[in-house]
Structure 1
Amino acid sequence: MRLSILDQVPLTEHTPTPVDAVTSGLRLAQEAEELGYHRMWFAEHHRSRSFASPAPEMMTALALERTRTIRVGTGGILLPLYPVQKVIEVMSLLGQAHGDRVDTGVGRAALDDPDYGEKIAALVRELGDLHQPVPGEPEGRVWVLGAGGSAAPLAGGLGTGYAHGHFFVPRGGEAAVAAYREAANRPHTVLAVRVITAETEQRAQSLADAMLLWRTRKDLGHDGPIPSAETAARHDWTNQERTRAKARSQAIIAGTPDQVHTTLSALADAHGAEELMINTLTSDPEDRLISYRLLAERFID
């Protein structure tokens, strides 16, 4: 089972400024390489008080300069916002500088774009001319991100990889992945999952509670940094927050390394995924690194 990382470059109590968050994300790329993770992708968010990466291609470039072997890419570029030729030229330039380590992940979130499929086809065609075929990687190193709906069969039909966002929609992913695999000649499936693990179940749950407090506040209109476990423990939860947290908890896998390994293995089997992409949000970068380290010890030979 391949293990990879999706970094949203979070703003937190411990990393409150964009400089802090970007520095932490780039350090994580180096640590992920040392731990044996297969790839690391950077997400795209705009006007966010929770995340500090509006330009994942720039984060990709910076991380590639600081690493040697790990695959690095975008997870993903919001393609409806950009002319496809600009995306092709940027990602081609990164590929020319760093070879086959570069991944181009694209998505559309809730944005409408009647040319979305044509743009992806152009990416596959143009970037496919740059990259030689590699087992286990889609043509052109292009991936489509989705959480169900039309993204999965679209990815299959266009010959890209498909990264399914379990942490966006934790139910129904099996059908989406099945639709992708039915449409694809050579399927490459990644399951993106939000995970937190620690040495003890209690510590893992306290970190998960902090993640839930952030997500609940965001749902209720308060977009802000990821709180610490200590802040979450002191928080006086309202009934509305508790209701939202209960619903959101389905998208977080938390526990000891053994508990998380069992759950993730079952999820990967159910979805037919060749790769797990882990997203971990903690206030303290050290807690995040410990979680990724413990996962690597359980999953990576």
Structure 2
Amino acid sequence: MRLSVLDQSPVGEGSSHADALLASVDLAQAAEEWGFARYWTAEHHASPGFAGSAPEILAAVLLARTSRMPVGTGGVLLPRYPPVKVAEVFAVLASLYPGRVDMGLGRAGGPAADYPQRVSLLRRLLGMDGSAKDGTAEDDAHRLVGAPAVPPRMWLLGAGSGSARMAGELGTDFAYAHFLAPDRAEEALTTYRTLLRGGNATDEAPGVLAVRVVTAESEAEAEALAHSVLLWRSRKDLGEDLPLPSARVARNHRWTALEAERASVRGRSLVWGTPDQVLTRLAELAKEYAVEEVMVNTLTCDPEDRFHSYRLLAEWQAATVGG
């Protein structure tokens, strides 16, 4: 099981968006040294709790500050932008950092009726559709001038079967957001793999699972951090979008019945505990959904707690593999 990072650049109470972005830079550099497989930056807008409104720009900074690890977006909300602009941005990144750029795409953020057409055009612009470089005049008209020699790796992201189906039909990579809709993961990944294989069974199990995780050295510390995440998430579900509360605030909070109900629902998709407990659960999820890579998404009020959580996972996994 490989571990990767999905970074939403969380903003804790009392901190600024700039603080969160700088913390993401620090975390990415450390994640490469710790051996994480890849690092993705997310896109959110007008959010008090998330700082990453331009994931491709943050990804560019992280590519410059790292040297080996694939870096990308998880993801660019394609309905918000002209495909040619997205193609140009990723062409520049892939030209500067060949073989290290992941182009993760999401269908949220705007009207999505033409999302499949946007994805197809993006693939053609970047020469990712399999057509020959010396193709027809029509092909050449839809290929970006200055397309990179090594295109970015395209990933479609989703929390249901729509993007899974499209990824399978196009033959692209697919990442499933388990932390948003855990109950639909099996259906989505099965749909993706069936279409990707043309209905033929193989031993390969493509696809990545993104899981929300909090870990600490003790169960009590991990539980306190988990309660912070669940308080933030329950408030968000009920229309109150705020920065991440501290563990102290969560501990002293008097939960309403509606908040408690939402926390109970969201708690089913949060993995928390000591690093050995968390890694055991992640291995179970990887086996259940037949994935070889799990993207870890950790939210905390204090960037140091998030840094520590990822470091513990990396160290425990390294010790397990080494042992």
Change (3 A) 1:170 1:67: same
CA apart distance, 1:120: 1.7
Which of 175, 184, 190 does residue 196 from structure 2 map onto?
Answer: 184
SS of 1:145's partner is strand
Alignment of 1:218-237 (within 5 A): 218-237=236-255
Contact 1:105 1:144 in 2 (8 A): yes
Contact 1:3 1:299 in 2 (8 A): no
Counterpart Cα distance in 2 of 1:69 and 1:122: 29
Change (3 A) 1:140 1:22: closer
Alignment of 1:1-301 (within 5 A): 1-13=1-13, 16-109=15-108, 111-125=110-124, 126=126, 128=128, 130=148, 132=150, 140-185=152-197, 188-300=206-318, 301=321
Paired amino acid for 1:296:
A
Structure 1 unpaired stretches of 5+: 133-138
Per-residue CA deviations over 1:65-107 (Å, capped at 9, x if unaligned) read 1111111101000001111011011001001111111100001
Counterpart Cα distance in 2 of 1:162 and 1:298: 27
SS of 2:97's partner is helix
SS of 1:278's partner is strand
Aligned sequence identity (%): 49
SS of 2:245's partner is coil
SS of 2:108's partner is coil
CA apart distance, 1:53: 1.0
Normalising by structure 2, what TM-score? Answer: 0.87
Counterpart Cα distance in 1 of 2:46 and 2:301: 20
Contact 1:124 1:140 in 2 (8 A): no
Structure 2 unpaired stretches of 5+: 129-146, 198-203
CA apart distance, 1:131: 5.4
Contact 1:209 1:232 in 2 (8 A): yes
Counterpart Cα distance in 1 of 2:9 and 2:80: 20
Counterpart Cα distance in 2 of 1:249 and 1:114: 32
Contact 2:219 2:274 in 1 (8 A): yes
| Aligned-residue RMSD, C-alpha | 1.6
Normalising by structure 1, what TM-score? Answer: 0.93
Contact 1:156 1:187 in 2 (8 A): no
Paired amino acid for 2:155:
W
CA apart distance, 1:127: 5.2
Per-residue CA deviations over 1:220-258 (Å, capped at 9, x if unaligned) read 121110011111111111122111111111110011112
Paired amino acid for 2:285:
L
Contact 1:44 1:77 in 2 (8 A): yes
Change (3 A) 1:131 1:182: farther
SS of 2:183's partner is coil
Change (3 A) 1:67 1:110: closer
Change (3 A) 1:76 1:299: same
Contact 1:216 1:241 in 2 (8 A): yes
SS of 1:12's partner is coil
State the aligned residue count: 294
Per-residue CA deviations over 1:136-162 (Å, capped at 9, x if unaligned) read xxx840000001131111111111110
Paired amino acid for 2:2:
R
Q: Which moved more, 1:155-164 or 1:118-127?
A: 118-127
SS of 1:52's partner is coil
Structure of greater Rg: 2
Q: Which moved more, 1:183-192 or 1:17-26?
A: 183-192
Residue in 2 that maps onto 1:135: none
Change (3 A) 1:28 1:173: same
Counterpart Cα distance in 1 of 2:246 and 2:69: 29
